[in-house]
Amino acid sequence: MTNTATNMRLKLPLTCFILEVIMIILFGVLVQYDAETDPKKWHLEKNHSGHHDYENDFYFRYPSFQDVHVMIFVGFGFLMTFLQRYGFGSVAFNLLISAFALQWATIMQGFFHFMRGGKISIGIESMINADFCTGSVLISFGAVLGKTSPVQLLFMALFEVTLFAINEFILLTVLGAKDAGGSMTIHTFGAYFGLMVARALYRPNLDKSKERNSSVYHSDMFAMIGTLYLWMFWPSFNSAITAHGDDQQRTAMNTYYSLAACTLSTFAMSSLTAHDGKLDMVHIQNAALAGGVAAGTAGEMMLTPAGSMIVGFLAGIISVLGFKYLSPILEEKLKIQDTCGVHNLHGMPGVLGAIVGAVTAAVATKEVYGEGLADVFPDVASGKFTASAQGVRQAISLAVTLGMALVGGLVVGFILKVPICGAPADTTCFEDNIYWEVPGEEPSQENQLTGVKMEESEKLNS
């Protein structure tokens, strides 16, 4: 009764085992605790440099890390459960590819950023960065949700993490751009990469599964769990790796107000674009988050609360319009079937965030930032760049990211077309039954004890 093409019995275990064994070997050879995680080194710091335990980076960043972690696993995982018959795949493949991606990201980002003397030193900051990179993969997952096998997803993660780390290295190290909340590195990259993968995997006959490519009442409720955790913890996401002190606080605050304003414009646009004024859960679940995406680059800068609100306000409008008018065009004209609408939540708001970041950087002055300028724009503070040059570099970074994502996504998409990967047929997309043992939808009536039945059965039993 099972189709051999989608039978994962050998493919998935083999892929998982091989990937995990490679990870363990790479970690064994390359990875070590950093100076704040290693007992010998940290105690030397304490004894010889007069540091105290409360200065350990763990206490500055662990609460933010845990919030980011919740966004990755519950936020993204449940946001994608809106499909009526793909809840298992959404939340559990999300777990699978994240668990792999965070390990591989530790290696790849470590290779570029944290390599010292042939060793990758890891700590709480690298854990946050690994989760960030994972977030990018999950955005791409959103574009191909329900149309891919777990093996395809693991391979997508393998390639995407690699390209993510290269792009991030070019932006942050080569170009000296700032992107603490990842409008460019995470959202723009993940969205356009995923859209190109979806383009490569275009299915002309996907309407054979169209009756399952929608929500039911309860699946929309589950999806709201994801939405709310993303919404609530986005201030932690954007501030997780900014400099200690005012920077973390300012970034969290800017994101908080950006999201609040975005929520109002999302509700307004959702109602305005419906012929009967009825709100659409798709917009609330997604567009209300665009304010977090759009504050990703400039959140740590002197965007001001009012500036953040303007950004969020625009992001909500753009995002709803995208869902309503642009997504159908993308599918018809560009043959991009974007299951979750990641172009509207992460793509366009990510580009908006990158532009806002470039502009805000270009107008930065020592007068406004004071000594804090060195935390936000070290190259401007040191006189290496002017503020305008920083703005230009931010803009170049956006272009590089778009190029890397578009080309990379297309190439990876074609790689994933290899038939051996076990993709579902056009008639069985958006269906958990293919890869999962699925129990019934509801308890059968006979399983539910009614008062009368219960009495009888207890009589028999006692």
Structure-token pair, residue 455:
């009495």
The stretch among 16-24, 353-361, 391-399, 403-411 that binds a copy of itself (CB under 8 A) is 16-24
Residue choice 49, 275, 332, 333 for contact with a copy of itself (CB under 8 A): 275
62 in contact with a copy of itself (CB under 8 A): yes
Identity of the residue, 95 or 411, whose beta carbon is nearer to a copy of itself in the bound complex: 95
**What is the rounded CA–CA span in Å between residue 446 and residue 434?**
28
Residue 28 CB, nearest approach to a copy of itself (Å): 4
Question: What is the secondary structure of 1-33 as a DSSP string?
Answer: ---STT--TTHHHHHHHHHHHHHHHHHHHHEEE
Structure-token pair, residue 267:
């509700």
Sign, Cα dihedral of 306, 252, 184, 363? positive
Identity of the residue, 84 or 140, whose beta carbon is nearer to a copy of itself in the bound complex: 84
Q: Which residues of 366-383 are buried (b: 16+ CB within 10 A; e: fewer)?
A: eeebeebbebbbebbbee
Listed residue (116, 108, 100) closest to 164, CA to CA: 108
Structure-token pair, residue 87:
């809840």
Identity of the residue, 70 or 359, whose beta carbon is nearer to a copy of itself in the bound complex: 70
Residue 66 CB, nearest approach to a copy of itself (Å): 6
Identity of the residue, 35 or 175, whose beta carbon is nearer to a copy of itself in the bound complex: 35
Mark 64-83 with x for binding to a copy of itself (rule: CB under 8 A) and - for no binding: x-xx-xx--xx--xx--x--
50 in contact with a copy of itself (CB under 8 A): no
Q: Which amino acid is at 70?
A: V
**What is the rounded CA–CA span in Å between residue 253 and residue 359?**
20
Q: Determine whether 58 is exposed, middle or buried from the number of CB atoms within 10 Å of its CB (0-12, 13-18, 19+).
A: middle
245 in contact with a copy of itself (CB under 8 A): yes
Residue choice 112, 166, 304, 407 for contact with a copy of itself (CB under 8 A): 304
358 in contact with a copy of itself (CB under 8 A): no
Give the containing element (helix H, strand E) for 129.
helix 124-144
Residues 394-453 that bind a copy of itself (CB under 8 A): 425-428, 431, 433-444, 446-449, 451-452
Residue choice 375, 392, 411, 415 for contact with a copy of itself (CB under 8 A): 375
Give me the sheet containing 31-33, strands edge to edge: 31-33, 119-122, 115-116
The stretch among 138-146, 301-309, 326-334, 403-411 that binds a copy of itself (CB under 8 A) is 301-309
Beta-carbon-side half-sphere exposure of residue 57 (alpha carbons within 13 Å) = 19
Residue choice 80, 153, 240, 376 for contact with a copy of itself (CB under 8 A): 376
Residue 39 CB, nearest approach to a copy of itself (Å): 2
The stretch among 9-17, 188-196, 330-338, 393-401 that binds a copy of itself (CB under 8 A) is 9-17
Identity of the residue, 59 or 386, whose beta carbon is nearer to a copy of itself in the bound complex: 59
220 in contact with a copy of itself (CB under 8 A): yes
Sign, Cα dihedral of 210, 212, 218, 219? negative
Identity of the residue, 137 or 191, whose beta carbon is nearer to a copy of itself in the bound complex: 137
Mark 318-357 with x for binding to a copy of itself (rule: CB under 8 A) and - for no binding: ----------------------------------------
**What is the rounded CA–CA span in Å between residue 234 and residue 240?**
10
DSSP β-bridge partners for residue 122: 33
Residue choice 231, 237, 323, 385 for contact with a copy of itself (CB under 8 A): 231
Q: What angle is formed at CA 350 by the lines to CA 344 and CA 351, rounded to 5 degrees?
A: 100
Query: Distance from first CA to last CA of the chain, Å, rounded?
Result: 43
92 in contact with a copy of itself (CB under 8 A): yes
Residues 142-201 that bind a copy of itself (CB under 8 A): 150
Identity of the residue, 143 or 252, whose beta carbon is nearer to a copy of itself in the bound complex: 252
91 in contact with a copy of itself (CB under 8 A): yes
- Residues in binding contact with a copy of itself, number by CB under 8 A: 174
The stretch among 173-181, 190-198, 267-275, 335-343 that binds a copy of itself (CB under 8 A) is 267-275
**Spatial CB neighbours of 443, under 8 Å, sequence gap ≥ 6:** none
